[in-house]
Structure 1
Amino acid sequence: MVCVCRPTALCSLRKKLFRWVTFFLLLFIMVIFYKEGCPCRGTSCGCETYISDRGISSWFDKHFNSTIEPLLTKENQEISPDILRWWLRLQLRETAPRPIHLQLFQKARKWRPTRGRRSCQCWSCAVVGNSGHLLGSGYGALIDSHHVVLRMNKAMTEGYESDVGRKTTHHIMYPESAKDLKANVVPVLVPFKPQDLIWLESVQGSFRTQKSIRAAWDKAAILHPAFMKYVHDSWMEQHGRYPSTGLLALILSLHLCDQLSVFGYGADSKGNWHHYWEHNRNAGAFRRTGVHNATFEAAVIQQLARIGKVRLYGSNHMEPRVAQATCHTATSILESILSALGICGQRSPWPG
């Protein structure tokens, strides 16, 4: 602001007045955005629709609980007795909670959620299962185009890049299915029993376990037992003893992503259930474990696809690719300002 007035005191007053007006104007904008949300929905940078949108499907609204926190945090580390009893029954005969069980969760590494800040970024995620129908699919580049790529268990990419992609941002697993991960990949532990938390505690702060499994364990996140029970009760309607790692990964992504693509779930085109990197003659083994109900899980995933909450890529068809939105310069500048002011963030809702 150029001042040409006299005397100097009056000029100084006008400068101060200008600063205060500017301050209150920005404050007003912040209040409006806080109440209404980021100015991103429906723009070139935001999603037209979000997974969490309600009123589209009564089935989804009945099953989806937006208030539950999927990962272990400082705020939810106290596990209720009923959740603890259910969790202990997953793989142990012991059902009586003991202080040591609570201490395991209290001592475990906690995730600090970032989703409290409204995001101007439309976070696209790809959950990549291990089905043999990925072979020859050519989905690699499409998978890599997502902001977040979640893989699971023993999944490998080397030698299969054209079909499954190269990118991995997060990897969900349990000790028996753990594998070497790159330093920039965030491990997500599914604790099925107390020993799993003891195993993770033993490797915290290091980059190598006793079994020489390399991973950035200091970044690890832990799936909350209450979330696992929620998936079993609400989504699986208590079919099977507990949900598979694949379904847990998918429902986790429903809660942390804005838009979700699903690859590598289900049998191949010949009806065989096997991993894409191996030849499994016992093709129906997964269905006969008695632990997971593969048929019911498949029905849940198909229903999510039918109502448009996920984009499901199967073995017999190629879904149309949706181009990633590109922000206009003016919108990008606005988002940067809002992010700096703490109104809207562009940080990923995922741990890492």
Structure 2
Amino acid sequence: MSKTTTAMPPDTTPGRETPMPTMPAAKPPLVTSPPSETMPAPKPPLATSPPSESMPAPKPPLATSPPSETMPAPKPPLATSPPSESMPAPKPPLATSPPSETMPAPKPPLATSPPSETPMPAPKPPLATSPPRETPMPVLFKKDFDKLPRWDFEDVYKRGGQPMQTTCPQSLRRSADQSFMRSFIPDVRLFMHKEHLSVSEWNRLAHFNNPFGFMEYQYEDVKVAVDLIPEPTHPLLLQASRQPGGCVRCAVVGNGGILNGSGMGKEIDAHEFVFRMNGAVTRGFEQDVGNRTSVYVHTAHSITTSLWYWKPYGFHSVPHDEGIKYVLIPEGMRDFQWLTGLLNRTTVPAGAYEGMRPWTSYAGQFDEERFYVLHPDFLRYVRNRFLKSSVLSGKNWSVVRPSNGAFTLFLALHTCDVVDAYGFMTEDYAKYPNYYMEREKTKVVFYINHDYMMEMKTWKRFHDAGVIKLYQREREDSH
């Protein structure tokens, strides 16, 4: 039996073995004394003393003292001290210090720093800087001008595309009269249709009084009518059947008394095209004025008043030859109201002709494809370049315009090669009645809205220059 001695730590001499006990290992007592030789090493106490060399290294305490050399490196504390060399680099804090060389460059902040070299798409401009929508200009009034106002664009006119092509050696387009040729614009726009009244175009034309523009009118009142005007699908004159020599020969027949007893009817009808206007009475006067009509020019006023004014002379309807072309001069607001009813096939909605059915005034021959409306630019061009009356410099400037006969003659000058004028005022006008329908001698009436004397001198000058042939009774009587 061995002596009882104080327990000693196991012998750590190299090569010496401690015999295995024959009894199972007991749980270590909860005492702090060193264990028996025969008992396995207990779990280390929660003391702060350093462990025995033979015990496995415990988990490091949560103390702040530096770890033992044999202990694995603990996770770095959340302190601000620099990390150990053997530790992986932690994620950079959200500080402003420059990032580690091994870290990817962070995304640039949404600051005002210069953009990267890759070009960014240009931003859309803000709506505040976009140009304002064009609107109709303020209305101008005739009473605010004591004479015809002059604008920088007064003599600017829309063009109508390809001018008339001709091989006619006698064509007025080959005139030797330099004064006429300087003023003549062969491709000036003749007709207006629904594509011609944008806001910008309105603002240009609103500077001119009627019928040369839309001064004093409201944009919506005119546009509702113009938007109904169809674009012409055929030229005013179909020139497939040119007469010998390749010339388009036209007669323009006015209502002057010089034709009374003239016997010019057959000569007039022999022309390829015949233009007439206003109260074009032919029945009973065929020997003097002929009976053919290719183009009839009118205003809403002339087509309505002629039916009662000339009724005593046998005028019961406007000319209505098969295939006739009707041309309207839009001289005022009443003409646009007329157009609204005519092209909508409804009664006129307002104005002087309210309630009327306009298409019934064309004797069954009205056809949109054969209906034309003269452009205000064409009317202003005729006045400015050929028939500019001195009255335009006075207080009555706004009512003065060329006559319907004058506009008709210039329409023929822009669509024909050769133009012969009949029934226009000549120097000996006092010898004849006012109109050819009047059997008795009447005094010629001069209306304030037309400068007849200036027109008479213009026709004589054109005749002398060979631009037109003007029928003059005195010349005929001398042969």
Q: What is the TM-score with the length of structure 1 in the denominator?
A: 0.68
Which secondary structure does the structure 1 equivalent of 2:179 belong to? helix
In the TM superposition, residue 291 of structure 1 has moved relative to its aligned partner by 1.1
In the TM superposition, residue 131 of structure 1 has moved relative to its aligned partner by 0.6
- Out of 83, 86, 90, the residue aligned to residue 205 of structure 2 is 83
The structure showing larger relative contact order (alpha-carbon pairs under 8 Å, at least 6 residues apart) is 1
Amino acid at match of 1:213: S
Deviations 1:287-339 (A, max 9, x none): xx2211111111111111111111111222339xxxxxxxxxxxxxxxxxxxx
In the TM superposition, residue 206 of structure 1 has moved relative to its aligned partner by 5.8
Answer yes or no: is 1:299 the counterpart of 2:437. Answer: no
CA RMSD in angstroms comes to 3.3
Q: Distance in 2 between matches of 1:162 and 1:281?
A: 19
- Greater Rg over alpha carbons, structure: 2
Pairwise mapping of residues 177-196 of structure 1 onto structure 2 (< 5 A)? 177-178=302-303, 179=307, 180=317, 181-182=319-320, 184=322, 185-196=324-335
**Residue equivalent to 1:235:** 386
In the TM superposition, residue 198 of structure 1 has moved relative to its aligned partner by 1.9
Which secondary structure does the structure 1 equivalent of 2:362 belong to? coil
Q: Distance in 2 between matches of 1:262 and 1:151?
A: 11
On the 8 A contact 2:345/2:357 being kept in 1, the answer is no
Pairwise mapping of residues 50-89 of structure 1 onto structure 2 (< 5 A)? 50-53=171-174, 56-73=176-193, 76-78=196-198, 79-88=201-210
**Residue equivalent to 1:262:** 421
**Residue equivalent to 1:124:** 249
Deviations 1:230-283 (A, max 9, x none): 111111124452111011011111001111100000156544561111368762
The structure whose residues are more often helix, as a share, is 1
On the 8 A contact 1:85/1:95 being kept in 2, the answer is no
**Residue equivalent to 2:366:** 217
On the 8 A contact 2:202/2:219 being kept in 1, the answer is no
In the TM superposition, residue 101 of structure 1 has moved relative to its aligned partner by 1.9
Alignment identity in percent?
A: 25
Amino acid at match of 2:320: K
Change (3 A) 1:141 1:116: closer
Question: Mind listing any 5+ residue stretches in structure 2 that lack a counterpart?
Answer: 1-163, 308-316, 348-355, 392-399
Q: Distance in 2 between matches of 1:77 and 1:53?
A: 34
**Residue equivalent to 1:246:** 405
In the TM superposition, residue 205 of structure 1 has moved relative to its aligned partner by 7.2
Amino acid at match of 2:182: K
Deviations 1:328-351 (A, max 9, x none): xxxxxxxxxxxxxxxxxxxxxxxx
On the 8 A contact 1:124/1:146 being kept in 2, the answer is yes
Aligned length: 274
Q: Distance in 1 between matches of 2:238 and 2:436?
A: 39
Question: Mind listing any 5+ residue stretches in structure 1 that lack a counterpart?
Answer: 1-36, 42-46, 320-352
Q: Distance in 2 between matches of 1:283 and 1:91?
A: 34
Q: Distance in 1 between matches of 2:209 and 2:456?
A: 23
In the TM superposition, residue 82 of structure 1 has moved relative to its aligned partner by 3.6
Amino acid at match of 1:277: M
**Residue equivalent to 2:438:** 278
**Residue equivalent to 1:159:** 284
Change (3 A) 1:279 1:138: closer
Which secondary structure does the structure 2 equivalent of 1:237 belong to? coil
